[in-house]
Structure 1
Amino acid sequence: MVEAFTIGNGMRITWRRSSRARRMTLRVPRDGGPVVLTLPAHVALSDGAAFAESKSRWLLQAAERRPAPSIVRHGAVLPVGGAMLTLTPAATRTAQDDGDALLLPASRPAGAVVQAFLKHMAMQQLRAACDRHAAALGRPYRAIVLRDTRSRWGSCTSDGRLMFSWRLAMAPPVVLDYVAAHEVAHLRHMDHSPRFWAAVAALMPDYARHRDWLKRHGSDLMAWQFRDPAGD
């Protein structure tokens, strides 16, 4: 059961505790989901509710800035590897890139087919990129895991496990490659110190412009919904 409460402006706030959190934080998900309040272990829920109430105006403004959700359905134009492809029903058993179109089995829900296609594409590209960057860095990784995360594009654990959002398959390949380089660099530096960014630059000298692309356009990728409320 999700723990939640409502503040004075009518906005629903879900909350969670984190032993690692040092302060209260509010996050407005880019996919249109409820606001998330993170509380340190020692902070009372009443204090968290008061904090959320004090930020009610900012929360409304942040929610209004979110991009409108885009539904993955036949006829939609979806970014795939940075290219805009029209999702087109066709006599095919699997999704196929046909230049300006992504051909999809006509009898199956578009969302599920496209999601599986993007996951497969992301895993192939990320594995190749991580292999290349890890070899250049001289630090092997243990595993790659794909998830549909909302707050980060990738992460690296202290034991060398790399996690990525499969939505990176929608971005240009160089942007996906930057995120791979970023997380692989964490195999050497588990922080964002100058030494870490130097390691990223060694792997990808022009990383800054790809990072900026993700900052500008990442919310658009997050806005895509792969379940059509109205059905395919």
Structure 2
Amino acid sequence: MSTACLPGDPPVTVHIRRSGRARRYSLRISQLDGRVTLTVPDRAPLDEGLAFLREKEGWIRRHLGRRPDTAQVGLGAELPVEGTQVTLVPGPGRAPRLELGQLVVPGPPEAAGARVRGFLKERARQRLAQASDRHAAALGRGYGRLTLRDTRSRWGSCSAKGDLMYSWRLIMAPPAVLDYVAAHEVAHLVEMNHSPAFWAIVARLCPDHAARRAWLHENAASLHRFRFGD
């Protein structure tokens, strides 16, 4: 995949993807990380694609301008944990803990971001394992490994071997949203597709999945705006 650049303030990097299935030029801006992708049909002239890109520059900048600013996580900052805003405060102890709307973070201030990230990952693993176990039991299926990543393009996946992968940032979303993603991926243990049969399984596991999916679509960027010292 090659890249192009729209000059300006700021300059915008555009990733160019050739596709044998595409019939026209198209643009996509990721709601997760703001990545701009120009899709070009395999046999189409790249010059025409770049001209299309320049024509759409205003549209691109308007959409990027509506994305929330990044936020560095440190003492005094606020961030959501299971859908509830908490304030990071210093305190004694060996590990971060939730107390009355605050996340108490022991240790030196410069390590707060990394310690909070570790806390969120561990809590995400617990909640996602519980949800996955419950939904898998409802279907009479087992799954393989459960892994966590900081993904940008998807919130979860299910491999052909039945291994589940989730974004640990789901722990910042309301519990019902995390539960929906677990139901979605566990449903793939039965239907490895997005057919009507698959969505029927999701609806059985999570009857109001449409509202939870919509929340995730609308708030994806807000969950990815936080930086933990990286």
2: CA distance, partners of 1:139 / 1:47? 50
Look up the match of 1:6: 5
Look up the match of 1:151: 153
Local SS of the residue matching 2:68:
coil
Kindly report which structure 2 residues correspond to 1:35-114, keeping only aligned pairs within 5 A, or say none: 35-37=36-38, 49-107=50-108, 108-114=110-116
2: CA distance, partners of 1:142 / 1:124? 16
Please list every run of 5 or more consecutive structure 1 residues that lacks an aligned counterpart in the other structure: none
Query: Which of these residues, 209, 221, 224, is aligned with residue 222 of structure 1?
Result: 224
- Deviation, 1:181, is 0.1
2: CA distance, partners of 1:182 / 1:123? 17
Kindly report which structure 2 residues correspond to 1:119-158, keeping only aligned pairs within 5 A, or say none: 119-158=121-160
- Deviation, 1:75, is 0.6
Larger deviation: 46-55 or 124-133?
46-55
Question: Identity of paired residues, percent?
Answer: 48
Quick one: structure 1 residues 27 and 99, their matched pair in 2 at CA, closer, same or farther if it must change by over 3 Å?
Answer: farther
Kindly report which structure 2 residues correspond to 1:188-207, keeping only aligned pairs within 5 A, or say none: 188-207=190-209
Root mean square deviation of aligned Cα: 2.6
2: CA distance, partners of 1:40 / 1:114? 44
Quick one: structure 1 residues 46 and 101, their matched pair in 2 at CA, closer, same or farther if it must change by over 3 Å?
Answer: same
Larger deviation: 85-94 or 32-41?
32-41
1: CA distance, partners of 2:45 / 2:191? 34
- Deviation, 1:137, is 1.2
TM-score, normalised via structure 1 length: 0.84
- Deviation, 1:39, is 6.0
TM-score, normalised via structure 2 length: 0.85
Quick one: structure 1 residues 32 and 171, their matched pair in 2 at CA, closer, same or farther if it must change by over 3 Å?
Answer: closer
- Deviation, 1:67, is 1.1
Residues 196-220 of structure 1: per-residue CA shift (max 9 Å, x gap): 1110011111222222222232221
- Deviation, 1:117, is 0.7
Quick one: structure 1 residues 31 and 199, their matched pair in 2 at CA, closer, same or farther if it must change by over 3 Å?
Answer: closer
- Deviation, 1:111, is 1.3
- Deviation, 1:152, is 1.6
Local SS of the residue matching 1:179:
helix
* 1:168 partner letter: L
State the number of aligned residues.
225
2: CA distance, partners of 1:29 / 1:215? 11
- Deviation, 1:138, is 2.1
Please list every run of 5 or more consecutive structure 2 residues that lacks an aligned counterpart in the other structure: none
Residues 90-144 of structure 1: per-residue CA shift (max 9 Å, x gap): 1222111112110112414221111111111111111111111111112222111
- Give yes or no for contact 1:30–1:222 (8 Å, CA) kept in 2: no
- Give yes or no for contact 2:75–2:88 (8 Å, CA) kept in 1: yes
